Amino acid sequence: MIMVRGKACKGQGLISPKVKRQAGLSFAQNPFFDRIWYSFLIICCAFITLSLSSCAQKKSVVMNDKKIVIYQLLPRLFGNKNTANIPYGTIEQNGSGKFNDITDKALDGLKELHVNYVWYTGALAHASLTDYSAYGIKVDDADVVKGRAGSPYAIRDYYDVNPDLAVDVKNRMQEFEALVQRSHAKNLKVIIDFVPNHVARSYHSYAKPENIVDFGAQDDVSKGFSPQNDFYYTPKQPFVAPNGPKNTPIANLQDGKFEENPAKATGNNVFSPTPKYDDWYETIKLNYGVDYQNGEQQYFDPIPPVWLKMRDILVYWTKKGIDGFRCDMAEMVPIAFWNWVIPQVKQVNPDLIFLGEAYNPKVYKQYLEEGKFDYLYDKVGLYDGLKRLIRNEPNADVKDIRQVWQVESAGFGQHMLRFLENHDEERIASAGFAGKAELALPAMVVSATLGSGPVMLYFGQEVGEPAKGAEGFGGDDNRTSIFDYWGVPEHQKWMNNGAFDGAKLDADQLKLRAFYQQLMKITSQSDAIAEGGMYEVPQTGNMNNRMYAFIRSSAKQRLLVVVNFDRTKSLEANIEIPDNILKLKSSSPVTDLLTDRKLNIPPGTSIPVNMGPVSAQIIAF
């Protein structure tokens, strides 16, 4: 195993004999100087120790919360005050948020939501149609860029940050580093994307360290597959970009003349020179030593060059103070790579977290145990089941919740990330999802309390952003565009032109945000949620398949969580508490934590519940 060492703090190291000689000091030559030198050495050592301690304090971020609460935001959208919102608009027309827009006041607003990790999506340099040639960056080709701003997952330079996000493009890295420092000063840890499966078709690193070799620079392009190549090729066949819609404002820029010969395989495992428009045609698949066209034979010895390059990238960002990586499409990269790389990078910072985007429940356990991930998406299980309940679909049933924690992630539920929104999914308040943010409140309670693993919010979720309209490449798809320059209207009301005080939110939005504040407070501070056991309350009273209750209990706390997804019926039940839970430490008086309301419930072995449609309670007893 190759050992990876962290960067030493300034001042670290011992004074060498060479320095003493240059200072004219010699223990053997003069006892007087000997004593002076000894005193000088003691003082230096003390100074070095203090310096190291100071350095460690500056770099460390102490998180006293019991549970991870992640807030995902795109700096390009989060800080954008421009309200023009012209479909396919340029950065000059529609504007772009900057790293500097995420001010101390903005971070205080996240702290109000009891967030302790911030995922800065799209921070790394990716392909776009904005011209930065004046700064030595080649202009990207519209034939292989989605939207004006481009996909954050078509990385153009792993060692650089997105120039769109800088006030002074020349100092873009310093502005990003300052954001990391601001976040840490607010006791917030920082997550960025790690996109290991593919890169932009225009990939070229202008910012890489001197000893780094670019992807593909040493490839033998005459071979379709070689374990020593970074990419896959279709020898002697040029790449042909797919034809896009002819009626868009950027259609005139798409001339079909992007040159790539021989063609490289496309990111979503398309080994053809002619990917389709709905493929990830703007990206190139990276080669981890798997020959997909010959039975997925694996060539991991010697270590493929891509493995080494990716390790160097992760170490580079870790040394810049990054606290975690959200690993895009983790299942499209061999488990063997994760098993190899994650322990090495954690030698630089043992507190790093690796969060994998995963969609196959059959391999969750393998990616956690063998792949060494800390957390995985719980999308296919919990999210999909909760979405059916929120939407009141005919086949919606709370048995899906039971299936998740009792079967699908039984034994490792603490490693599953729960959420109701992210950049890939429809906005809850969108017409295509629920149409109203409040319809998801019971589901959000389940997401936050079902396990001890992380819970995530997506910026604007807490004020009911509906993602109306067609921003550009994605069309009117109920999602906030990740491909275009855009202002996010309901979020902008909370942002209030940079005041970040919510002054423009209406009463319903303020109430919604207050709900998220209280729920995340409970979630991040609860001992029962972080460490407690799980007990499913049997159906009782008038409970139907749209109603669910469970108890989270530890030696310090007992919580009864009750949710009612039914759109028309109230939930009325007398919930019996098992003897083994009654013996645990009680909270007195009995309180609905979501409202801080004391419940007038006499001591006993049961808790009466009477809840209206689409509601939730978290009762401490």
Of the candidates 123, 156, 129, 39, the residue with the CA atom closest to the CA atom of residue 326: 123
In a domain? residue 87: no
CA distance 272 to 279: 11
Per-residue pLDDT of 394-438, as tens digits, reads 999 999 999 999 999 999 999 999 999 999 999 999 999 999 999
Per-residue pLDDT of 30-53, as tens digits, reads 333 333 333 333 333 333 333 333
In a domain? residue 354: no
CA distance 373 to 380: 18
In a domain? residue 338: no
pLDDT value, residue 58? 40
Domain of 562 in residue numbering reads as 528-620
Instruction: Indicate the pLDDT class of residue 22, thresholds 50, 70 and 90.
Output: very low
Q: What is the pTM of this model?
A: 0.90
Mean pLDDT of the 364-377 span: 98
pLDDT above 60 (res 319): yes
In a domain? residue 549: yes
Per-residue pLDDT of 49-69, as tens digits, reads 333 333 333 446 767 789 999
Mean pLDDT of the 74-84 span: 98
Question: Bridge partners of 618?
Answer: 561
From residue 194, alpha-carbon distances to 122, 307, 500 in Å are: 10, 13, 29
CA distance 55 to 42: 20
In a domain? residue 384: no
pLDDT above 50 (res 20): no
pLDDT value, residue 61? 75
pLDDT value, residue 1? 35
pLDDT above 70 (res 25): no
In a domain? residue 350: no
In a domain? residue 581: yes
Per-residue pLDDT of 456-474, as tens digits, reads 999 999 999 999 999 999 9
If one counts the domains in the chain, the total is 1
Q: Where are the alpha helices (DSSP H) in 66-206?
A: 75-78, 91-94, 104-112, 172-185
In a domain? residue 601: yes
CATH number of the domain to which 559 belongs: 2.60.40.1180
pLDDT value, residue 485? 98
